[in-house]
Structure 1
Amino acid sequence: MKKPIHIVKIKLNQIIVFVLFSFLLQLGCAPSEKKESLDADVIIYGGTSAAIATAVQLKRMDKSVLIVCPEKHIGGLSTSGLGFTDLGNKSVIGGISKEFYQRVYEHYQDKSAWNWQPRNEYGNEGQGTTAIDDSLKTMWTFEPHVAEKIFENMVKENKIKVLRNKWLNRESGVELKDGKIISITMLDGEKYKGKVFIDATYEGDLMAAAKVNYHVGREANSVYNEQWNGVQKGEYHHSHNFQQLNISPYVIPGDSTSGVLPRISTENPGENGTGDHRVQAYNYRLCTTNAEGNIVPFEKPENYDPAQYELLRRIFRGGRTSMFGGGKIPNKKRDVNNVGPFSSDNIGMNYEYPEASYEKRKEILDEHISYHKGLLYFWGHDESVPERLRVNIKKWGLAKDEFIDNNHWPYQIYVREARRMVGDFVMTENEILGKKEVTKPIGMGSYTMDSHNVQRYITKEGYVQNEGDLGVDADASYQIHLGTILPKKEECKNLIVPVAVSSSHIAYGSIRMEPVFMILGQSAGTLAGMALEEDKSMYDIPFESLSRQLREDGQILEYEPQLEKISE
């Protein structure tokens, strides 16, 4: 029986369509298909706040993006205890960075967000400015879990794919060809290909594995004609030093043959202004509370050794007691930071961290946690601590509703500084202090050039002293150069580095603030997106075009008046 003519025509049309589609596939021109199969236009390595801002910007520019990160919890320090924002001039914070703080504001407008204290009881001045700004609908202080929720919402809303617990193979996991990264491979063997790569880690691991030039430690002042880089003995800008306490560093006070107390270096501290390998101290930004019902008491670590804190005993005998403090954040919580000459900053114990293997880094982190927990226990139980302080600190503990899957301890240590790229442009104190012009700004900063202590040493007079703690204010907000996030073109043509940026040690002390990382992340995403749209090298995008796009997207590239004083 013959088939109806209309059925034969339909089948013939289907065959023609199938043959045509197969032909297009072979040519690489099939509808909705890319010529080359890539995992994403842009691969972001790292889960910091900068990574999220970069990814959000790229998605808004309709680019495919993939975040691959070692972390389980995204957001970096912003979600790991640093809720008392290092701010400076809030007026220079724009774009996605400002959006984050606006979302914080929106969250705390809901009465249900205030479960441990009424909202009207929370009054706070944060880092020189009002914590809650109703006129700008921004809030600059927040709880860690609130920040994480906001970042996760940003990821969800923008349909950003995040692959967690992925660790870069730092030995052989970066495939390079003709000055470009082709792919990156993780320790589990998974490989990701893209056109542009972003290193959004605090450590600069992808940058280093891509053979981009970088620096660890302090440069000599002579390198960039600076005043505040290098060794700074005798400079006491804060209270985090021994000054005139004249404390002996020896086991038997005054007897150098009796041995040196723990956590004091016997190395030569170096001459003022000279460079060294040393890195400013790390600590954990604890989220503590005294709200009854939400307190997890500070625990005694298994390997607790009170002898590690003998120097603190001598400080108490000398009359110094400011060791435990922090900025107020909502719901009767505090973001606790280092206070005084011997506190949570684990001075001198992180020098290896920037370049260390993952295994060695884990050892360093474990030592920092043990030290910090032991310090908390010491404050509350050692008889050398004045009784009123012991009684007071026992009213406090870790917040039960924070970091609930990590025994209420922050996920991320405060990596204040690790590797710093030596890139297309190096930011120095001269740009921050307004001595040199920035011709290609992609964002602004304003915080004090802040370095925590770098070493604890023995003076020529035979006393213990800290060195490296600085706080140098600029007279005005400053611009950050495009070249700070770009490697030199001859080193790598498709990598952007918005966190381990190209800057001197002391300049990084101001740039390294979470609002600025989000600003630089957005600018990194904009540059990558424009390069993809125009099918050009990032280095060939006209700065005028980039600047125009950044402004349209809310970035602040200049600020008047130029003579505002930045408070610490």
Structure 2
Amino acid sequence: MAAGKSGHSVLLIEPTNRIGGLVTSGLSHTDFHSLESLSGAFLDFANRVETHYAKTYGPDSPQVKASYHGTFGEPKVNLTVFHALLDEQPNVELVHQHLLVALKLTKSRPQRRIESVTLVNPQGNKRTVRGKAFVDGTYEGDLMAMAGVEWRAGREGRDEHGESLAPETADDQLQAYNFRFIMTQDEANRVMPVAPPGYRREDFVGVLDAIASDKIQRVFDYPSKCIFKAHLPVLPGGKYDINDVSRGLVRLSLPGKNLGWPNGTPEERQAIYAEHLRDQVGLLYFLQNDPEVPDKFRQEALQWGWCRDEFLDTDHLPPQLYVREARRMQGVHIYTQADSEYAKEGTRAKFHRDSIAMADYGNNCHGTHHEGPRFGGKHSGEFYNPVPPYQIPYGVLLPKDVNNLLVSCAVSSSHVGFCALRLEPVWMSLGQAAGHAASIAVQLNQPVKQVDVSHLQRNLHADRSATIYVSDVLPDSPDFAVVQWWGAAGGLRKLYSEGTPRKPRGKKLHGQYSEAVPCHAVEMDKTLDEKLDHRWRALAASIGVPPDALPKANGSATRGDFIRAAAAAARQ
């Protein structure tokens, strides 16, 4: 969409018959912490989801409230909104069910370019497409890998990047996958599960010992002591996004079962998909139907089923597996644990002058290895690391040696670093940045690595996409672009006095959601003091803003006056 807005011709290639990835395949309980972290493409999407519910059911309806500002959309609604967004872009052509089978590269390094890609549809018909710029938006990095870009799967050792969350030595372990089922207790919209292909009762008998312990109190609950995590708050329509129980006794995620996914053929990936389906649907079927399951648990489980109005083409089951991590590019900037941790001074995370996106969720890994039996064992490699809101530099999108390719999902990162980037709002922001960067590169006929990041940031800010977290100047503010510009220059660092307590989260609202992160406000109406005036003037001079264009700390000038004046002078 971002590339299409520029006026260039865009081809969007969807390997399946359903656009949207996990956003339309069951991940409806979006991962972020504060609403203030949402901007750009994801915020636009969420606003349209909320508008859909308001128009359909009324602005004060329970459905609008349940959508939590549009961030909790039913998969069918998310799909509708994505199609509506694409319909607004006449320059974007969408093709479904086309797999990448070949590409043509120029031969000389380091100036290699992708000249064309060849696709095949289910009927075996091939189509070759030439392009000036390419964006790999796949979870797996398939285009990147086919282009010969360096990539990695598995975990780095602790010393490689100095990451405390990494293991002592490198290995091939990969964050586990599971399905994000959409389920309901509404009898009128409920479809009862049936035994999946390959179901074997003996595979699930071990869960009986688990539910006999006090560590499992219900089949469905939130957030713990259950088998299926039914996320709260409830989605519109009385639906639940079902997930793996973090640190639980019984897990849906299956570490080790997905190692062949990143570099697998379509057939190999389909086999991994089928094994996860057999395991997770089979577990539910066992709990609902096996006579040895205690009546308390069986009757509770029988109250739940698939949603009759979701995933009509796939028997009401999500068409995609939740691929939390696959290939990771090793590009211009390898994003690591340090990139989302506090800077040495101040209340903010490490500063990236070339930031093209930001987020607030933190490093999150559901485990990479399972020790012990399927039921009652323990995941290892699991962590949930709170961090302050962080910036993401342009280099994570850039291969080292392919000059017209950007990678927006399988981004350049370590395993630990990737665990802070692997979230739907972040991937939308990175996709938006990739689209704008591709447009600039095509327009100026230059390699993507030569795109002027300040130019890219201006385009992103104009498109209401934030490159730094600001809790009190949001995308709907007339000051949004100038504050983001000043933040990109470094003007929002150390705004709070030395010794101010660092708090990575605001006051808890519900579940994983919080108020704005403290000590990340600009306070535009606050009087400009002499100390800040001195520091800001030096910064303005370093980026070419003439001092006589700036207000002085005279007791009446505000921070907002200074930033607006600096931005106006910079434009001139």
For the aligned pair, the TM-score class normalised by the smaller chain equals: 0.7 to 0.9
Which letter does structure 2 place at the counterpart of 1:323?
Answer: I
- Give 1:281's aligned residue: 176
- Give 1:157's aligned residue: 88
- The offset of 1:545, in angstroms, is 1.6
In 2: Cα distance, 1:62 partner to 1:446 partner = 32
Moved over 4 A (4+): 121-124, 561-564
In 1: Cα distance, 2:283 partner to 2:104 partner = 41
- Give 1:73's aligned residue: 18
- Give 1:333's aligned residue: 239
Pair 1:505 & 2:505 matched: no
Q: 1:298 aligns with which of 170, 182, 193?
A: 193
Closer/same/farther in 2, CA of residues 384 and 121 from structure 1, 3 Å limit: farther
- Give 1:63's aligned residue: 8
- Give 1:324's aligned residue: 228
- Give 2:435's aligned residue: 525
- Give 1:200's aligned residue: 137
Residues 105 and 139 of structure 1 are in contact (CA less than 8 Å); yes or no, is this contact kept in structure 2?
A: yes
- Give 2:163's aligned residue: 226
- Give 2:37's aligned residue: 92
Closer/same/farther in 2, CA of residues 284 and 174 from structure 1, 3 Å limit: farther
Pair 1:557 & 2:481 matched: no
Residues 138 and 409 of structure 2 are in contact (CA less than 8 Å); yes or no, is this contact kept in structure 1?
A: yes
Q: 1:471 aligns with which of 365, 384, 407?
A: 384
- The offset of 1:505, in angstroms, is 1.0
- Give 1:454's aligned residue: 368
Residues 111 and 119 of structure 1 are in contact (CA less than 8 Å); yes or no, is this contact kept in structure 2?
A: no
- Give 1:212's aligned residue: 149
Closer/same/farther in 2, CA of residues 334 and 191 from structure 1, 3 Å limit: same
Q: 1:120 aligns with which of 50, 53, 62?
A: 62
Closer/same/farther in 2, CA of residues 151 and 122 from structure 1, 3 Å limit: closer
In 2: Cα distance, 1:225 partner to 1:380 partner = 47
Closer/same/farther in 2, CA of residues 197 and 407 from structure 1, 3 Å limit: same
Which letter does structure 2 place at the counterpart of 1:370?
Answer: R
In 1: Cα distance, 2:187 partner to 2:106 partner = 56
What's the TM-score once normalised by structure 1's chain length? 0.76
Which letter does structure 1 place at the counterpart of 2:73?
Answer: F
- The offset of 1:317, in angstroms, is 2.5
Closer/same/farther in 2, CA of residues 109 and 121 from structure 1, 3 Å limit: closer
Residues 369 and 381 of structure 2 are in contact (CA less than 8 Å); yes or no, is this contact kept in structure 1?
A: yes
In 2: Cα distance, 1:546 partner to 1:317 partner = 57
Aligned residues: 449
In 2: Cα distance, 1:192 partner to 1:120 partner = 46
- The offset of 1:509, in angstroms, is 1.3
Q: Summarize deviations over 1:493-540 as a string: whole Å, max 9, x none.
A: 110001000111122112111111111111101111111122222222
- Give 1:308's aligned residue: 203
- Give 1:102's aligned residue: 47
- Give 1:481's aligned residue: 393
Q: Summarize deviations over 1:21-70 as a string: whole Å, max 9, x none.
A: xxxxxxxxxxxxxxxxxxxxxxxxxxxxxxxxxxx111111111001221
| Aligned-partner SS, 1:279 | coil
Q: 1:147 aligns with which of 53, 57, 78?
A: 78
RMSD: 2.0
In 2: Cα distance, 1:454 partner to 1:497 partner = 24
In 2: Cα distance, 1:113 partner to 1:74 partner = 27
Which letter does structure 2 place at the counterpart of 1:454?
Answer: T
In 1: Cα distance, 2:30 partner to 2:229 partner = 15
Which letter does structure 2 place at the counterpart of 1:192?
Answer: V
Q: Summarize deviations over 1:328-359 as a string: whole Å, max 9, x none.
A: 21111000001223232123211111111111
Please list every run of 5 or more consecutive structure 2 residues that lacks an aligned counterpart in the other structure.
217-225, 344-349, 472-492, 494-501, 513-572
- The offset of 1:383, in angstroms, is 4.1
In 1: Cα distance, 2:205 partner to 2:170 partner = 30
Q: 1:186 aligns with which of 119, 125, 128?
A: 119
What's the TM-score once normalised by structure 2's chain length? 0.75
In 2: Cα distance, 1:158 partner to 1:473 partner = 38
- The offset of 1:121, in angstroms, is 7.8
Pair 1:546 & 2:456 matched: yes
| Aligned-partner SS, 1:331 | coil
**Bigger RCO of structures 1 and 2 (CA < 8 A, at least 6 apart):** 1
| Aligned-partner SS, 2:285 | helix
Q: Summarize deviations over 1:137-180 as a string: whole Å, max 9, x none.
A: x32111000000000111111122111111111xx434344400
Q: Summarize deviations over 1:400-442 as a string: whole Å, max 9, x none.
A: 0000111111111100000000110011110111344323100
Q: Summarize deviations over 1:381-415 as a string: whole Å, max 9, x none.
A: 23453322211111110000000111111111100
Closer/same/farther in 2, CA of residues 471 and 400 from structure 1, 3 Å limit: same
| Aligned-partner SS, 1:86 | coil
Residues 103 and 114 of structure 2 are in contact (CA less than 8 Å); yes or no, is this contact kept in structure 1?
A: no
Residues 144 and 402 of structure 1 are in contact (CA less than 8 Å); yes or no, is this contact kept in structure 2?
A: yes
Please list every run of 5 or more consecutive structure 1 residues that lacks an aligned counterpart in the other structure.
1-55, 125-130, 133-137, 231-272
- Give 1:250-265 correspondences, 5 Å limit: none
Closer/same/farther in 2, CA of residues 121 and 65 from structure 1, 3 Å limit: closer
Which letter does structure 2 place at the counterpart of 1:77?
Answer: L
In 1: Cα distance, 2:30 partner to 2:272 partner = 26
In 2: Cα distance, 1:550 partner to 1:371 partner = 43
| Aligned-partner SS, 2:306 | strand
- The offset of 1:206, in angstroms, is 0.3
Residues 89 and 477 of structure 1 are in contact (CA less than 8 Å); yes or no, is this contact kept in structure 2?
A: no
- Give 1:305-384 correspondences, 5 Å limit: 305-321=200-216, 322-327=226-231, 328-339=234-245, 340-384=248-292
Which letter does structure 1 place at the counterpart of 2:100?
Answer: L
In 2: Cα distance, 1:430 partner to 1:551 partner = 25
Closer/same/farther in 2, CA of residues 158 and 275 from structure 1, 3 Å limit: same
- Give 2:556's aligned residue: none
Pair 1:173 & 2:173 matched: no
In 1: Cα distance, 2:27 partner to 2:138 partner = 17
Residues 103 and 115 of structure 2 are in contact (CA less than 8 Å); yes or no, is this contact kept in structure 1?
A: no
- Give 1:404's aligned residue: 312
In 2: Cα distance, 1:299 partner to 1:464 partner = 27
- The offset of 1:304, in angstroms, is 1.5
In 2: Cα distance, 1:168 partner to 1:69 partner = 10
In 1: Cα distance, 2:318 partner to 2:406 partner = 28
Closer/same/farther in 2, CA of residues 174 and 370 from structure 1, 3 Å limit: farther
In 1: Cα distance, 2:11 partner to 2:107 partner = 21
Which letter does structure 2 place at the counterpart of 1:494?
Answer: N
Percent identical among aligned pairs is 32
Q: Summarize deviations over 1:171-227 as a string: whole Å, max 9, x none.
A: x43434440000111244311100001100000000000000011011111111100
